[in-house]
Amino acid sequence: MGTTANGTSAATDKATSTSNGNATVDKGVDFANYFCTYAFLYHQKEMLSDRVRMDAYYNSVFNNKHHFIGKTVLDVGTGSGILAIWCAQTGAKKVYAVEATKMAEHARQLVKSNNLHDVVEVIEGSIEDITLPEKVDVIISEWMGYFLLRESMFDSVICARDRWLKPTGVMYPSHARMWLAPIRSGLADQKMSDYEGCMDDWHGFVNETNTYYGVDMSVLTKPFSEEQKKYYLQNSVWNNLHPNQVVGTCAILKEIDCLTVTVEDIFKIEASISLTITKEDTRLCGFGGWFDVHFNGRKENPAECEVELTTAPSVDDGTHWGQQVFLLHPPVRVNEKDEVLVNFSMSRSEENHRLMNVDLGFQIKLSSGKMLAPVRNKFYIE
């Protein structure tokens, strides 16, 4: 849930149409479904109140002044404008702060009230449509969505990089990783109970409709059940997990170099990983996914102070991103040293390129060597 993205990039449109047969994204629909949310100050406040997020960006900028002093910077999806302001405060010569929504007006006011309007230029428009007078030394953006890639804002950052970053330029952040781990959670039981309660209510509705109005609705029971299964059991859940809920080792699903990655590289994420259970006699209730990003500069121009922003399970409040949880129904009993072999695939929804579909298959190899039957689940990140 990063700061405001900029309309769908040409690269996104092309990838959408060639990879899954969809027509190019309608920018008007995209704005109504996505961008408008970020035009409200309450939403900006939520992100600005995330201390983990704010500290990481603040420290990465002010502890790496050599990347900013006397340099030209592009802030993609500036939102309130705070990243652009920090870049100017640390010594940037010029900052172009691009914002697709009317939040640009607030950003412009904030920049002026902090006496930085001679350095920071707020531009209202999508990064795909605007034109800058020069190439930039640094691109900074808070583009990360739930489980890193939901919202597909990174497409716009890639577009900005390819159009406006100098060959020697630096990306902030420079790298990103996606993680997955086995978890235990009472949410699995709660969601199943919610689904069963919903079906009990449906059956009562069918009986009453037949009794009082003489219409048998039972033919709709199966599609209603499938609809509710998706809502209660297949939609991934946003959650702030405690480290104690992680019952095994974690593994990297995807590593991204922001300087070289293409839209095609992130259009579909596929990985086969092995996770080892580290708790005795526990329940595998699902899998928790999170991400981290790093501010390392580039090989030829490294950061003097490398900074990590992680959304891993935390004993504190964590971040507004939390973790993406994929629940199993029913949970599986596991033990220490059991191995969970996971095949993971995440692709963009055909209905909305900013949402994700996940295929998650796994097979448990017991510490005795016995293999349990493979399980396959489909989830939706909406």
Residues with catalytic annotation?
Answer: 142, 151
Pick from 8, 33, 46: nearest CA to 319: 46
What's at 142, amino acid-wise? E
Q: Are 128 and 158 in contact, with CB atoms under 8 Å apart?
A: no
Six-digit token string for 378: 């489909």
- Bridge partners (DSSP) of residue 67 are none
Question: Residue 334 corresponds to which tokens in the numbers above?
Answer: 């596991």
